[in-house]
Amino acid sequence: MSISDLAPRTRAAFPTPLLTALTLTVAGLVLLGFGATTPQLVTPVKAAIALLGLGMAFAGASRLGRIRSGPGFDLVFWFGAGWLVVLGLAILLAPLLPLGEDRDVASTVLEPAFATPVFTGANPLGTNAFGLDLLARSLYGARSSLVISLSAVAVGTVIGGAIGMVAGYFQKSVDRAVGIATNSLLAVPPLILLIALATVLEPHLRNVALSLALLTIPGMVRLARATTMAYANREFVVAARAMGATRSRIMLRELLPNVLLPLLSLAVVMISVLIVAEASLSFLGLGIQPPEPTWGNMIAEGEGRVFEDHPHIVLVPGAFLFLTVFAFNIVGEKARGRWDSRSVKL
Instruction: Give pLDDT, residue 256.
Output: 87
Distance (Å) of CA 74 to CA 16, 17, 68, 278, 309: 22, 18, 12, 30, 39
Contact (CB, 8 A) for 321 and 276 = yes
Query: What is the value of pTM for the model shown?
Result: 0.79
Average pLDDT value for residue range 15-27:
82
Instruction: Give pLDDT, residue 20.
Output: 83
Average pLDDT value for residue range 141-165:
91
340: helix, coil or strand?
A: coil
The total of other beta-carbon atoms located within 10 Å of residue 142's CB is 23
Q: Is the pLDDT of residue 207 over 90?
A: no
Instruction: Give pLDDT, residue 104.
Output: 82
Instruction: Give pLDDT, residue 154.
Output: 93
DSSP state of 226: H
Residues whose CB falls within 8 Å of the CB of residue 317, separated by 6 or more in sequence, listed in order: 134, 137, 138, 141, 295, 298, 299
Q: Is the pLDDT of residue 340 over 60?
A: no
Top mean pLDDT of 26-30, 113-117, 197-201, 294-298 is at 294-298
Q: Is the pLDDT of residue 203 over 80?
A: no
Q: Is the pLDDT of residue 35 over 80?
A: no
Instruction: Give pLDDT, residue 160.
Output: 92
Q: Is the pLDDT of residue 214 over 80?
A: yes
Distance CA 252, CA 73 (A): 37
Instruction: Give pLDDT, residue 187.
Output: 84
Instruction: Give pLDDT, residue 341.
Output: 44
Instruction: Give pLDDT, residue 155.
Output: 93
Instruction: Give pLDDT, residue 131.
Output: 87
